[in-house]
Amino acid sequence: VSKDITVKAVDKPLFTDISISHPYKTELKYLVDNKLIGGYPDGTFKPEQSLTRGQAAVLLARALNLSTKDVVDPGFKDLSATSTYYGAVAAIVEAGIMGGTGDGKFEAGKPLTRAQMAKILVEAYGLTGTVSIKFADVNSKHWSYEYIHTLAANKVTTGYEDNTFKPGLEVSRIHFSLFLYRTITK
């Protein structure tokens, strides 16, 4: 006696802390499959952990396929040539996407804010456009107003349900991943 058996492929989590039902699983998988982002040696992704300025530089350098070798020294007094982030930071600075934080520093370990994220994505991908939506917590005099609204015009962000953007909030690893995915695939 024989019987046909159908075997279904089982979805496996990308990381131990990203379930197969995670709402941004598809977007994260795209970034992982394209070798733009990875997890930690213990198999985690740490989705809610803040993304640092150095990590953002690495992700953008990879996404834009910028060479991180033989780069021009960006001259930051807190970033040596032996730093993990040196090549990526130098490439991103040379491309005009990111700059320092003042006083000759880059502060690679400092968390990236949502406003800073908006600026670097708009700059990196040359996004343009305006939108009629206005975020309640970003007035027209805020330095990131145009960047944030350009992201909204390109459907990279919709903000929060309470019609805020929270520009000063540290961007999490998962939210940056989502914004990067939407920017790349728009």
What's the CA gap between 82 and 142, in Å, rounded?
Answer: 36
pLDDT of the residue at 64: 97
- Which amino acid would we find at residue 125? Y
What's the CA gap between 116 and 113, in Å, rounded?
Answer: 5
Answer yes or no: is pLDDT of 94 > 80: yes
18-44, pLDDT tens digit by residue?
Answer: 999 999 999 999 999 999 999 999 999
pLDDT of the residue at 7: 59
| Helix (H) / strand (E) containing 180 | helix 173-185
pLDDT of the residue at 4: 72
pTM score, whole prediction: 0.90
145-178, pLDDT tens digit by residue?
Answer: 999 999 999 999 999 999 999 999 999 999 999 9
pLDDT of the residue at 75: 96
Cα 31 from chain centre: 10
137-148, pLDDT tens digit by residue?
Answer: 999 999 999 999
- Greater model confidence, 12 or 131: 131
What's the CA gap between 181 and 178, in Å, rounded?
Answer: 5
Mean pLDDT check: name the lowest of 11-20, 66-75, 157-166.
11-20
151 and 126 Cβ atoms separated by less than 8 Å: no
Answer yes or no: is pLDDT of 6 > 70: no
